[in-house]
Amino acid sequence: MSEFSKSQLDRLGSRLRKTDRASPEDTALYFDYRDEFTESLEEVKQRLAQFFPGSLPSGRRKTLDSVVAKMQRQRTRLSTMQDIVGCRIVVPGLAEQDDAVSQIGADFDVLRTDDLRDTPHTGYRAVHAIVSASNKRQVEIQVRKDLQDLHAQMVEKMADRILLGIKYGHGPAKAIQLAVRLGDLAARLDSGKSEIALLERRLEEASQSLEAEGTQAQRPEREALLASVQSVVRKSRAKITENDDDYRAFVSEILTLMNASNA
């Protein structure tokens, strides 16, 4: 049970929205309210760790600056904000991302799901789910593919170092263009890897089918054609892997440079 009524929260939110610097009293009130979600966040993290043991779920609590920016940007009321706290899992591929979202839908009380892969924000792609914990508190779960997570880390750092609004398309045009282009590039790499994986599975099925046919007059020709296609697919896989490695190195270098500028 919250110590805050809906009207108290909305009055607090209204004061926060209208000022550039929150008073110490209002800052403390927000932190007290956010602390009410701690138990819910830990519960969801533990359940995610159980369902996705290799994903290493991480938690986060929304900063006051982020809350104020969201209320100003969307005219959202504090009492209805669903992502005061959240956690994240990172998976290796798009298929695993789809599987994780389905698993969350089966094992949690999901109130809303937002798929940002087709409608990215400043290049940011992920799937967000708002779930209800056992005490009815709402917790956001972010499901990211590894390249999506790397891109998100870069944009978060840009927001910290340049302007918070960069995450939402507000700020220096060149910084936003960089974030969008790198996000789009990550999406193309992920899509390419998924398509190659599908081709590899189909080629394996075709190879097994040829073996089951036994000796036939046309079999050598078919095997030669299959081998040629497999060679092309292997080269494509190698090229995508090379581009993937280059992308990770480039974004990691940007992160390193921005972290160094904090020192």
pLDDT digits (tens, 9 = 90+) for 186-196: 999 998 888 88
Count of Cβ atoms closer than 10 Å to residue 158 Cβ:
23
- What is the rounded average pLDDT of the residues 45-67? 91
Query: Who has greater pLDDT, 13 or 167?
Result: 13
Pairing of strands 85-91, 138-145: parallel
* DSSP character at residue 86: E
- What is the rounded average pLDDT of the residues 78-86? 96
pLDDT of residue 218 exceeding 70: no
* DSSP character at residue 183: H
Task: Give the model confidence (pLDDT) of 13-51 as tens digits.
Answer: 999 999 888 999 999 999 999 999 999 999 999 999 999
Name the band, by pLDDT with cuts 50, 70 and 90, for residue 139: very high
pLDDT cut 90: percent of the chain above it: 54
Q: Which amino acid is at 29?
A: L
- What is the rounded average pLDDT of the residues 82-97? 95
Q: What is the pLDDT of residue 227?
A: 76
Q: Per the structure block, which two tokens stand in for 60?
A: 């986060």
The CATH class of the 6-146 domain is alpha beta
- Domain parsing of the chain, residue ranges: 6-146, 174-262
CB 16 within 8 A of CB 78: yes
pLDDT of residue 250 exceeding 80: yes
